[in-house]
Structure 1
Amino acid sequence: MVQRSSSQLSEQIIQDSFHSYLKSSLAQAKVEKLIDVELLASAEGDLMITGPALCLYFAALRSTTNPPSVPLPRQAKSSTPLELSYENCPPAFISFLRVWANTVPSIQALSPEHQHDLARVICGLQALHREASPTVSGIAADLRAVAIEISQRRSFQDRYAGDLQAALDAGNPTGSLSPKKASFVPPPVYDPSPTPSPPPGRTSFDGKRPVPPVPDALIPGRIQTPAPQAPGMQMSTSHRSTLSTSSISSTASNPSILTQESPAIEFIRETLYASIADALERQPSLRLLLKRDPPRAYYASVAFAVLDIAENSITPDGSVMGVLGKPLTLAECPRELHPFMMELASIGRTAKEMDDEDTETAIKLAERGKDIPPTRLERVKIILEEGIGHASGLKDASEGRRSVEGRAVAFANRVNGLSLGMTRLPAFRERQNDVFAVLAGIGS
C-alpha cells in the first residue's frame, strides 16, 4: 500500500525521485524514437525543457489519486512507498505540483493515440491526429512551462548531464556504456570557492565572493547619453549604445571591445546582454527578485531582454538593430545562428499580432461597458517573471481567460526557450560570468 505521508518531505527526496524518473523518461523516449541519440549527446535544442516535461507527462500517466499525487521511487527495497501530495510537498515545489496536478485529469482523459500525440508535441514533433491538436497543445504548453522552471534550478543543472548519460547508456548490453558522451555543461556556478573578504556591502550570490563595481549604465537613474537611433527604429532606452562595450565588458578579465568589424555573434550577444539593463530599469520587481532568487532573476532578465529585442529592434527585413547602431542581418550570421535569428523575428511578429488582437478586444469590451482583463502580453510577462505557478496565472485559467491552446503560456515558453538556447551558445557562455557578477552587484 502506498503511503500518503502528511509530514513534509525533504527537497532532497523530491530531487532524487525526479532525476530517477527523468533518466527512465529520457530512455523511454529514446526507445520510442521521440528523441534520438545524437540529440541526447549534444543536449542541443530545447532538450533541457523537453526532458523534464516528458518526466511530468509520464508521472501524470502513473497518478492514481484524487487530487493527483506522484508515486515516488522507493528509497530502499524495504522502505514504504511514498506519494508526493499537497500535504507533504516542500514549499519550493508546491507551485510545480499545483500546475502539474491541473493537467493530470486532462492527460488521463485523452485516448492512447492522443496521449502519444502529447508526447510527440512535448518533443517538438507534429501531432498525428489533428482533431486533438488544440487540447494537446495546451497541455504540452503547461508541462513545458513547469519544465522550464525546473531547468532553471541549479540543483537540476548540476545533475542533468548524468541524466542524459544514463539515458544514452540505457538499453546497451549489460556493463556496456554508450560511445556517446553527454556534453551538457551547467552555466556559471552561484557558489564559487571563497576568495579574500569583499568590501562591506559588495558580495556575490553566495555572500562570499567580491564582485566588480556596478557600471553606471546598469544602475537605474544613471543612464548614459543615448546614441543616435537608426531611422525608423524605436529603441526602448539608451543602454544598448553603451552597455556592452563600456559596462559589462569592463568587468571581464579580458574585456571585449566591440567595433563595427566584430563578428556578428558578438553583436548579438552584447545586444542581448545590454537589453538586460532595460529590463532592470523598467521593472523594479526584477531587482527585488535579484535579492530573493538570483538564479531565477538572471533567467527572467534574459527572457525580458529577448522579448524587448523581438518587439522593438527587429527591422522590416528581419534584421536586428544592435549595439553601436549596427543592423545585424541573417546573411551576416553564422549558419548555426539562423534558427535563433528567425525565431527572434517570429517572436516579434507574434507579439505584434497578440498586441493588435488584445487592443481590438479591449475596444469591443469598452464599447459594451465591460471590464478589460489583462492583455496576453501582460500575462506573458507575469509568467516570465513569476513562473507558470504564480497565483495570477492560475486565476486567469480558472476564470476562462486562457484559450484552450494556452497561447500566453505557449508564447512565454517560446521566449524562455529561445533565451535558454541562446545563453547556452559558447559565445554567450564565455561572458555569462561577467553578467552574473554585474547582476549580483545590483542585487546586493
Structure 2
Amino acid sequence: MSQQAAPSVVTDEVTMNAFHKFLTLALAQAKAERLLDEETLASAEADIMVAGPALCLYFAALRSNTTPPSIPLPPSVLPPGAPPTFLSAETVPRTFKAFFFIWSALTPAIQTLTPEQSHDLARLICGHEPISQSASRHEQLRRMALDMRAVAIEISQRRTFQERYQSDLQAALDHGRPPSDGRRTPSPLRATFVPPPGYEAEKPLPASPTSPRSRPVTPTSPMRITNPDLPGFGRRISASAPPTSPPTPTRITSPNRLNAALPSTPPRTEYGHRRNQSSQYLELPSGRPERPTVTVQSSSSSPGRRSPSPAVPAQLNSAIETIRETLYAELAEVIAKTKELQTLLASDPPRAYFASVGLAILEFSLNALTPDGGVRAVLGAELKLEDVPREYQPLMREVQAIARRSRQLEEEDTTKAIELLTAGEDTLPEPRMDRLRKMLIKGVARGWEELQRDQDVSGSDTEVMAGAAFESQVRRSARGSDQGAVRARSRDRSPEGTVLQLANRINALALTMTRLPAFRERQAQVFKVLAGVRA
C-alpha cells in the first residue's frame, strides 16, 4: 500500500491573502449583527485593530467542520488549477503556527456554545458586556475572548496586516450597500485607519485624517452574509439577540478629538523634535543611561496640601509631550537593561518595538505616577491629571488602572510567598509580574505556555508554541480524547487569567499611544534609539 504524501505547507502570502479575505467578511458580518457600527469601522481607534482580527478567528472557529480543526482556503487566493486546500496543523506556515495552534485549541469549546453564549462571546470580543442570562458561563467566555484578543493584538502588530487593514475596513463599510445603476454604492464614510510608523523608516507618518461623522446605527434584522468563495461563512450568531437593543460601542473618546493634531509648536528638525531640545531622553550612550532626577513630594507634607509642582520645562510646553518624553525615558532604560529586547531587535524589529513600548508603559505606571494620579515627569516636573487635555485623560486613567492592578499582583504574590515560606515550602512560584514582563516580550505564546506548565512542556521556541508536545496536545484535545484539556485547564497561578488580561490591557494601550500624533511625531527618534542599541 502506497503511503499518502504529506500535504504541502501553504505559503505566507496565500495565508495572509486568505486571512484578509476572511477578515473583510468578518467585519461586514459584525456590522450586520450590530456588534460594530459604521462609525467604529470608519474611526482610527486602536481597539478596532484588535476586535477585527479576533472576530476573524471567532468566525473561522464557527466555520471549521473538521477534526482536528482546519480552515478551507478561498479558491481565489490559490494558484489557478490548485485543488481544494485547507489550512491545518500540517499545512500552516511556520510564521503562523503559534496563532493557529491557539485558535485550534479554542475551536472545540467555541463550537459547543449555545447561540446565546456564542453571541455573548462575539460581544465580549468587541468590547461589549454579555447580555444572556448564562452568568455561570460568562467567566469562561471572558477568558476565551481574552485569548482571542491576545492573538489579535499580536496579529495587529504585523506590518503586513497594518498596511492592508484600511482597505479591509473600507470593504466592510461598503459591503451590503444598495446597488445603484447596477453597481454597488460605496459608503459615504471612509475608513481613516492609518498604520503606525514603520519600524525601519525614519520619516514619521502624517497624522490620520479626521474621521467623518456618521448617522446613528438603526436597528435592523440580523443579516446572513454569504459568499460562494468562503464555504460556510454565513452562520448567523445573533438569532436570540433582542432586535430593539443594539449594543452601544464603548470607546475611550471620540476619534476626531483623540487623533486631532496638537497645537502648533516651535519649528522641528527632520526627526520631529525641537531644535533647542536636548536628546538626552532617548540617546543611549555606552552603558546604562542616566535617569533624570525626579523630585518626589515628601509624605510628611500637611494633609490636604501639596507643594507647588515644578514648572513643566519650556521645551515641553504641552502636557501630552511631557507624558511622552517621560514614557520615552522609560523606554530607553527598558531597552538598555533588557538583553532579550536587544536580541529581539536583530531578529524581529516590529516585535521588539511593541515589546519595548509595552514594558515602558508598565514601568511608567509603576514608577512615574503619584498617589493622586499625577505624573512625575522628566527633569523633576510634576503633572496633575487635570493638566492633561480632556481627550487624553482616559488614557491616563487607563495607565492608573494598570498601575493599581500591577501593584495588587505584587502585593498578592508577596503575601503568598510569605505564606509558603512560613509553611516550609522550599520552592516559590514565579512572581506574576515577572511572568507579565516575559509575556510582553515573548508575546501570546508565553500565555499559552503557562497553560502547559504542569505538563513540563518547554516553551523555548515561542514561534512554534511549545513544539511537538504542545502540537500533540492540541490534536488530542481537538479529537476529543482529552476533551477541553487546553481550554479548561485551570491557571493554577493565575486562576482568572489575570496576567494575560493585564498584558492585553498594556498592549492595547501601546497600540493606542503609538498611533496618536503626539507620539508619531517623535517616532523617528525612537527608531534611532533602537538602531543605536542594536549596533
TM bucket, shorter chain: 0.7 to 0.9
**Taking structure 1 as the reference length, what is the TM-score of the superposition?**
0.84
Cα distance in 2 between the residues matched to 1:46 and 1:170: 21
1:98 aligns with one of 96, 101, 118:
101
Write the letter of the residue equivalent to 1:96. F
Cα distance in 2 between the residues matched to 1:284 and 1:403: 26
Deviation at 1:394? 4.3
1:83 aligns with one of 86, 90, 102:
86
Q: Deviations over 1:311-340 (max 9, x none)?
A: 121111111211122222221111110110
User: Which residue of structure 1 aligns with residue 197 of structure 2?
Assistant: 188
Deviation at 1:413? 0.1
Write the letter of the residue equivalent to 2:347. R
**In the superposition, relative to structure 1, how do residues 220 and 59 fare at CA in structure 2: closer, same or farther (>3 Å)?**
farther
- The alignment covers a number of residue pairs equal to 401
User: Which residue of structure 1 aligns with residue 496 of structure 2?
Assistant: 405
Q: Deviations over 1:389-413 (max 9, x none)?
A: 1374343476743545322111100
Q: Which runs of structure 2 are paired with 1:119-138 in the superposition (5 Å)? A: 119-129=122-132, 130-138=135-143
Write the letter of the residue equivalent to 2:64. S
Cα distance in 2 between the residues matched to 1:193 and 1:336: 28
Write the letter of the residue equivalent to 1:221. G
User: Which residue of structure 2 aligns with residue 420 of structure 1?
Assistant: 511
- Whether contact under 8 Å (2:292, 2:378) holds in the other structure is no
Deviation at 1:224? 3.1
Deviation at 1:367? 3.1
Any stretches of 5+ residues in structure 1 without a counterpart? 195-212, 234-256
User: Which residue of structure 1 aligns with residue 295 of structure 2?
Assistant: 229
User: Which residue of structure 1 aligns with residue 211 of structure 2?
Assistant: none
Cα distance in 2 between the residues matched to 1:150 and 1:394: 21
Indicate the larger mover: 220-229 or 282-291.
Answer: 220-229
Deviation at 1:21? 0.7
**In the superposition, relative to structure 1, how do residues 225 and 409 fare at CA in structure 2: closer, same or farther (>3 Å)?**
closer
Q: Which runs of structure 2 are paired with 1:8-407 in the superposition (5 Å)? A: 8-75=9-76, 79-129=82-132, 130-174=135-179, 175-190=184-199, 192=201, 217-219=283-285, 221-224=287-290, 226-231=292-297, 259=314, 262-370=317-425, 371-390=427-446, 392-396=449-453, 400-401=491-492, 403=494, 405-407=496-498
- Whether contact under 8 Å (1:220, 1:281) holds in the other structure is no
The sequence identity of aligned pairs, in percent, is 47
Deviation at 1:227? 1.9
Any stretches of 5+ residues in structure 2 without a counterpart? 204-278, 300-311, 454-485
- Whether contact under 8 Å (1:423, 1:429) holds in the other structure is yes
For the pair shown, the structure with the greater C-alpha radius of gyration is: 2
- Where 1:382 maps in the other structure, the secondary structure is helix
Cα distance in 1 between the residues matched to 2:409 and 2:296: 26
- Whether contact under 8 Å (1:165, 1:182) holds in the other structure is yes
Write the letter of the residue equivalent to 1:138. R
**In the superposition, relative to structure 1, how do residues 193 and 324 fare at CA in structure 2: closer, same or farther (>3 Å)?**
closer
**In the superposition, relative to structure 1, how do residues 45 and 222 fare at CA in structure 2: closer, same or farther (>3 Å)?**
closer
**Taking structure 2 as the reference length, what is the TM-score of the superposition?**
0.70
**In the superposition, relative to structure 1, how do residues 304 and 225 fare at CA in structure 2: closer, same or farther (>3 Å)?**
closer
- Whether contact under 8 Å (2:68, 2:104) holds in the other structure is yes
Cα distance in 1 between the residues matched to 2:415 and 2:288: 38
Task: Identify which of structures 1 and 2 has the higher relative contact order when contacts are C-alpha pairs closer than 8 Å and 6+ apart.
Answer: 2
Write the letter of the residue equivalent to 1:432. Q
- Where 1:435 maps in the other structure, the secondary structure is helix
- Where 2:445 maps in the other structure, the secondary structure is coil
- Where 2:296 maps in the other structure, the secondary structure is coil
Cα distance in 2 between the residues matched to 1:369 and 1:286: 37
